[in-house]
Amino acid sequence: MTARIDTSPCPVPVWLPGSHLQTLYGAVAARYHRIAFVRERVDTTDGDFLDFDWTGPGLYSDRLADGHTAEPDPRLAKTAARRWIQDGDWQGLQQDADMPALVLFHGLEGSSHSHYAQAVAQYFRARGWVVVIAHFRGCSGFPNRMARAYYSGDSADIEFILATVRQRLPNARWHAVGVSMGGNALLKHLGEQGQAISWLAACAAVSVPVDLVACGTRLSESRLGKHLYSRYFLRTMKAKIQEKAKRFPGNIDQYRLGQVRSLREFDDLYTAPMHGYKNALDYWTRASSKPHLRTIATPTLLLNARNDPFIPGPSLPGSHDCSSAVLLHQPAEGGHVGFVTGRFPGHINWLPARLAHFFETRN
């Protein structure tokens, strides 16, 4: 059986035409409510750590479980978290049987500060859900401990994150959302696991580059892809790896890193060899989630705007590429994680509302 199709539009306003404007305006100018989190640091089995930012009923960033005011931790000043979680906070969270909960996997160089993470967290938190933003290695405002970082096909870290949140709230009805790169990693893991991950009630993936070869090539070779979007990502990516090069001398060629001008060059130099791939093409090919969409067993929404400037239209999955557990929603407009709607100056509430509708109705 093949995937179901949703043809309904995202009502992008007439004052915001074109894929690039929809993408950029959604990221830097559209309105959304901001939310502060409580952070948990969890050690991984390989000696590293991951940071989880939590919010939910009974958990407050400015107040401890005993009612006392929580002083903000200055180490978290540049993050969306205000304080570190304490043992008593878990008792404060409502842990009713079947309580809805959501874990979000961010995109490339994203975090709980990202506009989409903030909008989704606030929307679901206001409706009584527990929400946790799981940061990939080195994305929480702190450098991770190892020479390695994160990458688009890291099923092991997705599995670790899911197991961690399930362990924290075992009675919750868990859902997962992956955005862009995080969506690719989530979809790949769902396809690899099949029925073994049936404890997840439902999942969603937003603006996902399911064909990393096609998307990586566009971002590396197209004019705006290379000189606008890639330059934006590489600014922080290269700085992180320069810092790693100082801590791990001999592992990273600093001179070549300074010459990197595209995502392909960055992945050829660092991401691929550091994470067990021959080169960028090998990495993009083997880490893509598209070949795994046919074996997804969890109810999953795959939302991609057809005018996404990061993703060539022909690379988007069709119904024949996916299992019957997948709902493909491909509105004509929306950009890359933009989906701005409403009168000027617009807002980004359409995306979390679309996710909530799927989770509540599976359509």
Tell me, what CATH number does 143's domain have?
A: 3.40.50.1820
Reported as a single tens digit per residue, the pLDDT across 11-34 is 999 999 999 999 999 999 998 989
Q: What percent of the chain has pLDDT over 70?
A: 100
Mean local confidence (pLDDT), 57-80? 94
> How many folded domains does the chain comprise?
2
pTM over 0.75: yes
Q: Is the pLDDT of residue 276 over 80?
A: yes
Q: Is the pLDDT of residue 1 over 80?
A: no
What was the pLDDT predicted at 93?
81
Mean local confidence (pLDDT), 305-333? 98
Q: Tell me: do 205 and 240 sit in the same domain.
A: no
What was the pLDDT predicted at 97?
76
Mean local confidence (pLDDT), 106-116? 98
Q: Tell me: do 53 and 133 sit in the same domain.
A: yes
Q: Is the pLDDT of residue 166 over 90?
A: yes
Of the candidates 268, 287, 306, which is a domain's last residue?
287
Q: Is the pLDDT of residue 95 over 80?
A: no
If we measure between CA atoms, which residue out of 285, 305, 268 comes closest to residue 153?
285
Q: Tell me: do 238 and 90 sit in the same domain.
A: no
Two tokens, residue 340: 């701005």
The answer to whether 48 and 144 are in contact (CB under 8 A) is: yes
What was the pLDDT predicted at 109?
98
Degrees, nearest 5: CA angle 288-290-291: 95
Mean local confidence (pLDDT), 38-60? 97
Q: Tell me: do 17 and 82 sit in the same domain.
A: yes
The answer to whether 102 and 114 are in contact (CB under 8 A) is: no
What was the pLDDT predicted at 63?
93
Q: Is the pLDDT of residue 96 over 80?
A: no
If we measure between CA atoms, which residue out of 102, 73, 328, 290 comes closest to residue 202?
102
Which residue range forms the structural domain that includes residue 28? Answer: 4-209+292-361
- Give CA–CA dist 122/124, Å, rounded: 6
- Give CA–CA dist 275/293, Å, rounded: 23
Q: Tell me: do 173 and 225 sit in the same domain.
A: no
Q: Is the pLDDT of residue 322 over 90?
A: yes
Q: Is the pLDDT of residue 94 over 80?
A: no
* Mean pLDDT of all residues belonging to the chain: 96
Q: Tell me: do 16 and 78 sit in the same domain.
A: yes
Q: Tell me: do 101 and 174 sit in the same domain.
A: yes
What was the pLDDT predicted at 98?
84
Degrees, nearest 5: CA angle 19-20-26: 90
Mean local confidence (pLDDT), 166-170? 95
Of the candidates 287, 307, 336, which is a domain's last residue?
287
Q: Tell me: do 81 and 149 sit in the same domain.
A: yes
Q: 65 vs 158, which has greater pLDDT?
A: 158
Q: Tell me: do 258 and 183 sit in the same domain.
A: no
Reported as a single tens digit per residue, the pLDDT across 197-246 is 999 999 999 999 999 999 999 999 999 999 999 999 999 999 999 999 99
Degrees, nearest 5: CA angle 129-122-168: 40
- Give CA–CA dist 308/208, Å, rounded: 10
